[in-house]
Amino acid sequence: MKLEIELIREILLALENYSDGHKNYDVELLYRNYPNLNKWPYLTVEYHIRQLADGGYIYTTEDYNIGYIIDLTWKGHEFLADIRPQTTWERLKGVMTYPASVSLEALKAVASTMVQEALNRKLGLHP
């Protein structure tokens, strides 16, 4: 299955909104309670959650079978912070399809660079 970066972002946003860092969330509960996830089939969402866990972006109670979702990891919080601004996200979406699909790590690096450049401009550190 191809990773859908738009779905990755929606899952991270949903977890940030629903998680308290302690309570465990069933994938189906998250799917039902976060309407933006309903744009994709349930099994696709479940697959992407498994990939986020494997990549170290979210904590789950089990390794392969997901079990329950607990929260975003530090890595997940950092990535979401970089892709949360809509202006950044819109610019990144143009990058994701050129020249072909882009890996999550590559996207993370580009998003981080974009945020750093914006901060530098704001602080007057770039001409």
Same domain, 68 and 105: no
How many domains is the chain built from? Answer: 2
Q: 69: which strand partners?
A: 25, 60
Same domain, 61 and 96: no
Same domain, 56 and 105: no
Q: Is the pLDDT of residue 99 over 80?
A: no
Domain that includes residue 51, residue range? 5-73
Q: Pairing mode, if any, of strands 69-72 and 58-60?
A: antiparallel
Q: For residues 51 and 3, is the Cβ–Cβ distance under 8 A?
A: yes
* CATH number of the domain bearing residue 11: 1.10.10
Looking at the domain assignment, is residue 127 inside a domain? no
- Angle 74-83/104-122 helices, nearest 10 degrees? 60
CA–chain centroid gap for 76, Å, is 7
Looking at residue 42, its pLDDT comes to 93
| Cα separations in angstroms, 22 against 54, 67, 71, 121, 125 | 20, 14, 8, 38, 40
User: Each residue of 49-91: pLDDT tens digit?
Assistant: 988 998 899 988 875 566 788 889 999 999 898 888 888 788 8
Q: How confident is residue 127, by pLDDT bands cut at 50, 70 and 90?
A: low
Q: How confident is residue 97, by pLDDT bands cut at 50, 70 and 90?
A: low
Q: What's 68-83 look like in SS3?
A: CEEEECHHHHHHHHHH
Task: Collapse the DSSP code of 29 into the 3-class scheme (helix H, G, I; strand E, B; otherwise coil) and give the result.
Answer: helix
Last residue of a domain, one of 58, 73, 88: 73
Looking at residue 27, its pLDDT comes to 86
Looking at residue 124, what DSSP letter applies? T
